[in-house]
Structure 1
Amino acid sequence: MNSQLRSPIAYFGGKSAMVGKLLPLFPPHKYYCEPFFGGGSLFFAKQPSLIETINDRDSEVVNFFRVLRDENKFSEFYRRVNLIPYAREEYDYFRQYSSTDPIERAVAFFVVHRLSFSGLGKYGSFSFSRTRTNRGMAAAVSKYLSAIDRLPEISARLKQAQIENLDFEQCMKNVDSPDTFFFCDPPYLPKTRRSGRYNSEMTEDGHKRFLELCIRLSGKILICGYPNDLYDETLKSWTTKEWQTVCYAAARTRQTGILGKGAALKMQPRIEKVWFNYNLDYQFQVV
């Protein structure tokens, strides 16, 4: 596999830290669909499929990736973000910004998600480095500049995808086939987390509708989430795997006590679980 491409944004609930665990679980497939795209970490990390469909109910997410995909709009977007410094004032400004222009909306979306803590966007706070450095500068600034540098690659990669702004059910039904693989990372079930920070939330009834759909489709499906009885009972015939992780949205501060190596795992432990409806043709090992 070639060097993996990384998502251009940090996104609440995203799976950038789990790419190494999730990609080995992907089955062979011709067609690929992500009905809850978000930041798209797995899409950018994987090799292209014959047909790819990426979907999100959040119109700001969809607008952002559509602008990146459009050659003319991307050129102007790229020029503008290169002029924006990593600064709290910029985050505060774009956090309140409103526009109907697609390029301006995309710029605001990018800046707010790149400059916010844990990709919380307008729901978060400005992220800065206290002592951590990278490439001879603050680590936060280094990540921001690196994200800008890889935008042309992101733009090129998106040209191969169909981008939708549909309800998950319509999206999945549209592309379902025995040769389709669905990677599903829906918003965490509300009762398994402490707060709601998604622009497009999903109620428990929404999760039930999603699960009922999944057991009817003919494609291969992998679903991410926290352990819960609803998923276990509905998908009781599916294969499951789980591993220990942390809450990446928990602030690393003196107030929370989450400072230093291993502190997050000690103070904010979580279990990530996946459910999938196919057999793996090789030995699985969580790395």
Structure 2
Amino acid sequence: MAYVGGKGNCFTRVIGAMPRHTVYIETHLGGGAVMRAKRPAPRQIGIDADERVIACWRERGAPCELVHGDAIAFLKQFQFTGGELVYADPPYPAEVRSGSYRYRHDYREEDHAELLELLASLSCHVLISGQPSRLYNEKLIAWRCMEFGSGGRRGGRRELLWANFSEPLTLHEPAKAGATFRDRERSKRRLSTIQRKVERMGAAERTLFVEWLAATYPGHVKRLENEIA
């Protein structure tokens, strides 16, 4: 599903930054490149104000609960418990658009401001996609910001991804982490090498290796143990 401002060229970078979560909420679903490509969470919710977008997702079989409505209103009434990840990819502010295109359900500057203030108040992990703009730079100045290019028919654009959390100990999809495809392939090769070495170990040697992991990276190991349990 092609969609203006969609993440079809950079969804891997967004997914690679996601921390572990049990509930995933995408506030402006649109074409849903991220939703379609990510590893599903136990509960997933996709929101969009455009009834045609929702209808298209229903026809194709959505991997999530669909909500036709306003993202701000939904977030205000949702009961957060802390295990959620909210990903917001709202319409680009008018000042950063390259053409005269308008979304069917567009945002005014006051809408952007209200959304950002609400997202900043949530008691869960939040990721926000966008392009450099005065309002976003001001409102999200204290957030961690990642920058990457997004290829496109017009030569690509500069994309920013803001996070209200520090780099997480455990990622939702570690295999998608990395700045480039080459980085991700390099990580896969290194992991494959380590796996082969561990498989060739005897029981005693493997036990020593696991004990070393637990002692050296206790945060990672404890977090994984809790999630498995």
Both structures adopt the same fold (TM-score exceeding 0.5): yes
Report % sequence identity.
29
Structure 1 residue 67: deviation in Å? Answer: 3.0
Question: What is the SS of the residue equivalent to 1:214?
Answer: helix
Structure 2 residue 30 is the aligned partner of structure 1 residue 38: yes
Structure 1 residue 209: deviation in Å? Answer: 0.7
**Partner of 2:136 in structure 1?**
231
**Partner of 2:103 in structure 1?**
198
Question: What is the SS of the residue equivalent to 2:53?
Answer: helix
**Partner of 1:286 in structure 2?**
179
Amino acid at match of 1:209: E
Structure 2 residue 89 is the aligned partner of structure 1 residue 185: yes
Structure 1 residue 43: deviation in Å? Answer: 0.7
What CA distance in whole angstroms lies between the structure 2 residues aligned with 1:240 and 1:183? 14
Structure 1 residue 175: deviation in Å? Answer: 5.0
Amino acid at match of 1:189: P
Amino acid at match of 2:136: Y
Structure 1 residue 27: deviation in Å? Answer: 0.8
Counterpart pick for 1:243 among 130, 148, 151 = 148
**Partner of 1:169 in structure 2?**
72
Correspondences of 1:123-142 after superposition (within 5 Å): none
TM-score by length of 1: 0.56
Amino acid at match of 2:179: V
Correspondences of 1:51-70 after superposition (within 5 Å): 51-68=43-60
Structure 1 residue 227: deviation in Å? Answer: 0.8
Gaps of 5+ in 1: 1-8, 69-154, 251-263
Contact 2:151–2:157 under 8 Å retained in 1: yes
What CA distance in whole angstroms lies between the structure 1 residues aligned with 2:119 and 2:111? 12
What CA distance in whole angstroms lies between the structure 2 residues aligned with 1:198 and 1:177? 32
Contact 1:242–1:274 under 8 Å retained in 2: yes
Structure 1 residue 235: deviation in Å? Answer: 1.4
Contact 1:223–1:275 under 8 Å retained in 2: yes
TM-score by length of 2: 0.70
CA deviation string 1:30-85 (max 9, x = no partner): 100011000111111111111111010011101121233xxxxxxxxxxxxxxxxx
**Partner of 1:22 in structure 2?**
14
Structure 2 residue 178 is the aligned partner of structure 1 residue 275: no
Taking a change above 3 Å as real, the CA distance of residues 175 and 56 of structure 1, as seen in their structure-2 partners, is farther
What CA distance in whole angstroms lies between the structure 1 residues aligned with 2:141 and 2:111? 19
Structure 1 residue 274: deviation in Å? Answer: 1.0
Over 6 Å off, 4+ runs:
none
Contact 1:12–1:197 under 8 Å retained in 2: no
Question: What is the SS of the residue equivalent to 2:127?
Answer: strand
Amino acid at match of 2:3: Y
Deviating more after overlay: 25-34 vs 193-202: 193-202
Question: What is the SS of the residue equivalent to 1:20?
Answer: helix
What CA distance in whole angstroms lies between the structure 2 residues aligned with 1:244 and 1:238? 19
